[in-house]
C-alpha cells in the first residue's frame, strides 16, 4: 500500500483517537468550546447522562462532542462543527473571550474572534496571538477610558450649568407670574380710567359743538358742498354748449348771410381763442381780461375733510386772543404723567378744580390742549396711550412666560436625562471638506458654504433624536436628524443625519453623502460621555463610539 493511500487512514485514526479522548470528559470545564456561563447545565450526574438544553432528549454524557449532532438545539456539540446552529467558545487567554459559529470550527481559517486558535484544534493551522492582540487592545481601552473620563468631567460641567440655568429660569418664571398679576390689575385700572375719561370727554365735546363758531363752520361746510355740486352741474352744461358751438363752427359757411349764426360762431371763436375763419376780418381786438387764480380740487377736498371736532380740541378763543401757551395749566396737565394710579382720581378732581379757579380769577386762560385723536381731548389720548402701553407690557410678560415654560419643557425632555445638551443649544462646529465648509449648530440649522464664492446652501433644521431607540437611553442621543433644507437641483430637499459619539471636545470629524443631498456627519461631544455605571446597558456602544476618537488621538 502506498504512502498516499495511508494518509486518509491516518487522518481517520487521529480523529478517532481524539473522539475517544473526548469520551473521557468528566467535568464541564474540560468540555471543548463550552461557554463558562453554561457550566452548571453540563454537570455530570449519577446516571452519567446529559439532557439537551431544550429538554427534547436525554443522551449519554459520553455523546457530548462526539462529532455527531444528537440534540436538535446542538447543545451536545459545543466544540465541533457537527451542529450548525451553535457557537464555539474561545477562552483567548491574555485577551477577552470570543465566540465563532460552529460551522467555522476546523475550517482551516484563523478567525479573529479566536485569537488563541482554539477553534482550529483539529487542523492546527492557527497559533495563539492573544498576548500581542490583548496588549494592543488594553492600550486602546486605556485611551478610551481616559477620553471617557475627561469627557465625563466636561459633561458634568454641562449638567451643573444646566441645573443653574434651570433654577434661574424657574425663579424668573415665578417672578414674572407675580408681575403678570400686578400688571393685569394695572391694565384693568387703566381701562376703567380710560372709560371714565372718554365719557367725560364726550360730554365736553358736546358742549363745544353747541358754540356759534362750530355751528357756523358746519353751515360753511354744507354751503361748500352745495356750491361744488352746482359748479359741477354748470360745468357739465357749459361743456355741452361748447360741443354744440364747436360742431356749428366746423360746418359754418362764411358766405351764408345769416348774421345771427355768424355772430354766434365769432363769439365762440373769441371765447375759445380760435383764430378767425380765413377771409373773415376780426371786428377788433378783444381785450383780454385778467385770469383769476383757479381753485384746485384738492384744496376743496381738504376743506371738506377738515376734522372740525379736532379743531375744537386744538383751538379755543383764549388761545387766539392771547397767542401764548398757558404755562400754568400746561404744567398741571404734564403732572398727570407722574401721578400713581391709586391717586389719579383724587388728582384729576384737584387739577380740574385748580384750572377752573385760575380761569375765573383771570390768572390763566383755557387749559393747555395737547393734540389727541380726532374726537377726543388730550386727557383721553393720554389715558388711551397709558392703557395701550400697559397692555403691550402685559403681552410681553405673557410671551416671556410662554418661552420660559417651553425652555423648561425641553430641558426635561429634549436636552438629555440631566439637561446636559442645553449647554450646547446654539453651539456651532464646522469643518472644511473639499470646496465647501460644513457647519452644524446644535438644535439649530446646518449649512454648506462654498469656499470659492461664499455662497451657502441651507441643509436643514433640527427635527428629532434617534427615533429607533427608547427616549432617555444612551442610544437615543447618538443620532440627530436635521431636515427640510434647501432643495437640490433636480433632487430632494437637503437633510443631514448626525452620528454622535463621546469625545473631549465638540467637533465635526467627517462629512459624507451616501445618497444625493442626504448627508451624514460624524460629530464628537462631551455631552455623550456618560460616566461608568450610568447607562451600563449601553457600555459596549460607548466604547465603540469612543474608540474612533481615541485612535485618532493616538495617531
**How many CB atoms within 10 Å of residue 331?**
10
% of the chain surpassing 90 pLDDT: 47
- Concatenating the DSSP letter of every residue in 66-97 gives SSS--STT-TT-TTSSSSTT-EEEE--TTS--
Cα separations in angstroms, 189 against 195, 283, 342: 10, 84, 9
Determine the pLDDT at residue 405.
Answer: 93
In the numeric block, which cell numbers belong to residue 351? 387739577
- Computed over every residue of the chain, the mean pLDDT equals 79
C-alpha 395/C-alpha 392 separation (Å) is 5
Nearest CA-CA partner of 523 in 426, 417, 418, 430? 430
The DSSP 8-state label assigned to residue 451 in this structure reads T
pTM of the model: 0.54
Contact between 121 and 81 under an 8 Å Cβ cutoff? The reply is no
Of 149-153, 163-167, 483-487, 533-537, the poorest mean pLDDT is in 533-537
First CA to last CA across the chain, in angstroms?
61
Contact between 374 and 310 under an 8 Å Cβ cutoff? The reply is yes
C-alpha 326/C-alpha 20 separation (Å) is 126
Helix (H, G, I), strand (E, B) or coil at 320: helix
Given 3-state DSSP classes, what are the helix, strand and coil percentages for the chain, each rounded to the nearest 5? 55, 15, 35
Res 199 pLDDT > 50: yes
Res 22 pLDDT > 60: no
Sequence spans of domains, the chain: 3-128, 308-374, 420-554
Average pLDDT over every residue of 399-404: 93
Determine the pLDDT at residue 369.
Answer: 41
Give helix 130-209 / helix 378-413 axis angle, nearest 10°. Answer: 160
Cα separations in angstroms, 32 against 27, 66, 97, 258, 286: 11, 11, 14, 145, 139
Average pLDDT over every residue of 262-278: 65
Res 171 pLDDT > 60: yes
107-151 pLDDT, tens digit per residue, is 999 999 999 999 999 999 999 999 999 999 999 889 888 989 999
C-alpha 264/C-alpha 267 separation (Å) is 5
Higher pLDDT, 170 or 307: 170
406-418 pLDDT, tens digit per residue, is 999 988 888 999 9
Task: Write down the CATH superfamily of domain 420-554.
Answer: Mannose-6-phosphate receptor binding domain (2.70.130.10)
Phi, psi of 60 (to 5 degrees): -60, 145
**How many CB atoms within 10 Å of residue 125?**
12
C-alpha 46/C-alpha 343 separation (Å) is 103
C-alpha 208/C-alpha 333 separation (Å) is 20
Higher pLDDT, 245 or 496: 496
**How many CB atoms within 10 Å of residue 262?**
16
Going by pLDDT thresholds of 50, 70 and 90, the confidence category of residue 71 is very high
C-alpha 481/C-alpha 498 separation (Å) is 6
User: Contacts for 402-405 with beta carbons within 8 Å, 24 or more apart?
Assistant: 404/169, 404/172, 404/173, 404/176, 405/173
Q: How many CA atoms does the CB half-sphere of 54 hold within 13 Å?
A: 10
85-116 pLDDT, tens digit per residue, is 899 999 999 999 999 999 999 999 999 999 99
Determine the pLDDT at residue 96.
Answer: 93
Going by pLDDT thresholds of 50, 70 and 90, the confidence category of residue 381 is confident
Contact between 417 and 429 under an 8 Å Cβ cutoff? The reply is no
Phi, psi of 479 (to 5 degrees): -140, 145
Determine the pLDDT at residue 331.
Answer: 60
Determine the pLDDT at residue 543.
Answer: 47
Of 182-191, 241-250, 259-268, 405-414, the poorest mean pLDDT is in 259-268
User: Contacts for 495-499 with beta carbons within 8 Å, 24 or more apart?
Assistant: 495/459, 495/460, 495/519, 496/440, 496/446, 496/459, 496/460, 496/520, 496/521, 497/521, 498/440, 498/523, 499/523
205-228 pLDDT, tens digit per residue, is 666 666 666 666 666 777 777 777
In the numeric block, which cell numbers belong to residue 135? 496588549
Going by pLDDT thresholds of 50, 70 and 90, the confidence category of residue 536 is very low
Determine the pLDDT at residue 225.
Answer: 78
In the numeric block, which cell numbers belong to residue 391? 397692555
Higher pLDDT, 246 or 545: 246
Going by pLDDT thresholds of 50, 70 and 90, the confidence category of residue 489 is confident
Average pLDDT over every residue of 31-48: 92
304-349 pLDDT, tens digit per residue, is 566 555 555 555 544 444 444 445 445 655 566 666 666 666 666 6
C-alpha 369/C-alpha 352 separation (Å) is 13
Helix (H, G, I), strand (E, B) or coil at 512: strand
C-alpha 163/C-alpha 395 separation (Å) is 28
Determine the pLDDT at residue 356.
Answer: 63
Determine the pLDDT at residue 135.
Answer: 92
C-alpha 488/C-alpha 498 separation (Å) is 19
Res 460 pLDDT > 90: yes
Res 498 pLDDT > 50: yes
Res 8 pLDDT > 60: no
Helix ranges (DSSP H) in 323-376: 327-335, 344-360
Residue 299, classified by CB atoms within 10 Å of its CB into exposed (0-12), middle (13-18) or buried (19+), is exposed
Res 422 pLDDT > 80: yes
Nearest CA-CA partner of 485 in 453, 454, 440, 450? 440
Determine the pLDDT at residue 433.
Answer: 92
C-alpha 467/C-alpha 470 separation (Å) is 7
Residue 419, classified by CB atoms within 10 Å of its CB into exposed (0-12), middle (13-18) or buried (19+), is buried
Amino acid at each position: 500500500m502506498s504512502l498516499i493511500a495511508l494518509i486518509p487512514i491516518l487522518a481517520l485514526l487521529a480523529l478517532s483517537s481524539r473522539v475517544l479522548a473526548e469520551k473521557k470528559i468528566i467535568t464541564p470545564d474540560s468540555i471543548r468550546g463550552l461557554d463558562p456561563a453554561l457550566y452548571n447545565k453540563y454537570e455530570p450526574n449519577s446516571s452519567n447522562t446529559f439532557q439537551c438544553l431544550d429538554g427534547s432528549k436525554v443522551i449519554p454524557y459520553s455523546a457530548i462532542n462526539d462529532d455527531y449532532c444528537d440534540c436538535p438545539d446542538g447543545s451536545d456539540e459545543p466544540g465541533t462543527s457537527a451542529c450548525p446552529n451553535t457557537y464555539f467558545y474561545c477562552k483567548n487567554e491574555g485577551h477577552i473571550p470570543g465566540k465563532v459559529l460552529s460551522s467555522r470550527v476546523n475550517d482551516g481559517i484563523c478567525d479573529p474572534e479566536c485569537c488563541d486558535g482554539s477553534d482550529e484544534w483539529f487542523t492546527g493551522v492557527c497559533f495563539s496571538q492573544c498576548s500581542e492582540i490583548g496588549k494592543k487592545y488594553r492600550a486602546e481601552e486605556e485611551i478610551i477610558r481616559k477620553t471617557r473620563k475627561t469627557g465625563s468631567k466636561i459633561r458634568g460641567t454641562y449638567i451643573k450649568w444646566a441645573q443653574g440655568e434651570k433654577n434661574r429660569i424657574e425663579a424668573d418664571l415665578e417672578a414674572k407670574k407675580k408681575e403678570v398679576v400686578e400688571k393685569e390689575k394695572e391694565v384693568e385700572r387703566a381701562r376703567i380710567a380710560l372709560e371714565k375719561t372718554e365719557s367725560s370727554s364726550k360730554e365736553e365735546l358736546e358742549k363745544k359743538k353747541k358754540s356759534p363758531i362750530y355751528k357756523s363752520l358746519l353751515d360753511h361746510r354744507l354751503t361748500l358742498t352745495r356750491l361744488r355740486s352746482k359748479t359741477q352741474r354748470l360745468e357739465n352744461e357749459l361743456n355741452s354748449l361748447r360741443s354744440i358751438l364747436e360742431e356749428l363752427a366746423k360746418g359754418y359757411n362764411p358766405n351764408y348771410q345769416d348774421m345771427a349764426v355768424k355772430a354766434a360762431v365769432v363769439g365762440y371763436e373769441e371765447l375759445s381763442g380760435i383764430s378767425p375763419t380765413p377771409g373773415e376780418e376780426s371786428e377788433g381786438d378783444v381785450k383780454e381780461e385778467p385770469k383769476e387764480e383757479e381753485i384746485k380740487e384738492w384744496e376743496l377736498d381738504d376743506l371738506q375733510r377738515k376734522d372740525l371736532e379736532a379743531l375744537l380740541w386744538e383751538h379755543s378763543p383764549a388761545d387766539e386772543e392771547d397767542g401764548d401757551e398757558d404755562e400754568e395749566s400746561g404744567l398741571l396737565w404734564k403732572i398727570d404723567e407722574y401721578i400713581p394710579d391709586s391717586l389719579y382720581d383724587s388728582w384729576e378732581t384737584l387739577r380740574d378744580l385748580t384750572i377752573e379757579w385760575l380761569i375765573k380769577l383771570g390768572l390763566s386762560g383755557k387749559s393747555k390742549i395737547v393734540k389727541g385723536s380726532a374726537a377726543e381731548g388730550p386727557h383721553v389720548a393720554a389715558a388711551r396711550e397709558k392703557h395701550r402701553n400697559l397692555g403691550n407690557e402685559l403681552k410681553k410678560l405673557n410671551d416671556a412666560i410662554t418661552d420660559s415654560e417651553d425652555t423648561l419643557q425641553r430641558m426635561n425632555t429634549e436636552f438629555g436625562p440631566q439637561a446636559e445638551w442645553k449647554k450646547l443649544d446654539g453651539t456651532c462646529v464646522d469643518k472644511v471638506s473639499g470646496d465647501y465648509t460644513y457647519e452644524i449648530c446644535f438644535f439649530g440649522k446646518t449649512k454648506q458654504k462654498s469656499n470659492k464664492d461664499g455662497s451657502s446652501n441651507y441643509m436643514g433644521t433640527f427635527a428629532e433624536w434617534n427615533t429607533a431607540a427608547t427616549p432617555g437611553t444612551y442610544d437615543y442621543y447618538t443620532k440627530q436628524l436635521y431636515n427640510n433644507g434647501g432643495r437640490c437641483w433636480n433632487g430632494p430637499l437637503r437633510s443631514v443625519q448626525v452620528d454622535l459619539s463621546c469625545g473631549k471636545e465638540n467637533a465635526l470629524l467627517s462629512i459624507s453623502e451616501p445618497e444625493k443631498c442626504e448627508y451624514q456627519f460624524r460629530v464628537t461631544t462631551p455631552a455623550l460621555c456618560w460616566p461608568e455605571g450610568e447607562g451600563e446597558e449601553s457600555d459596549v456602544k460607548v466604547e465603540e463610539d469612543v474608540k474612533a476618537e481615541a485612535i485618532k488621538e493616538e495617531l
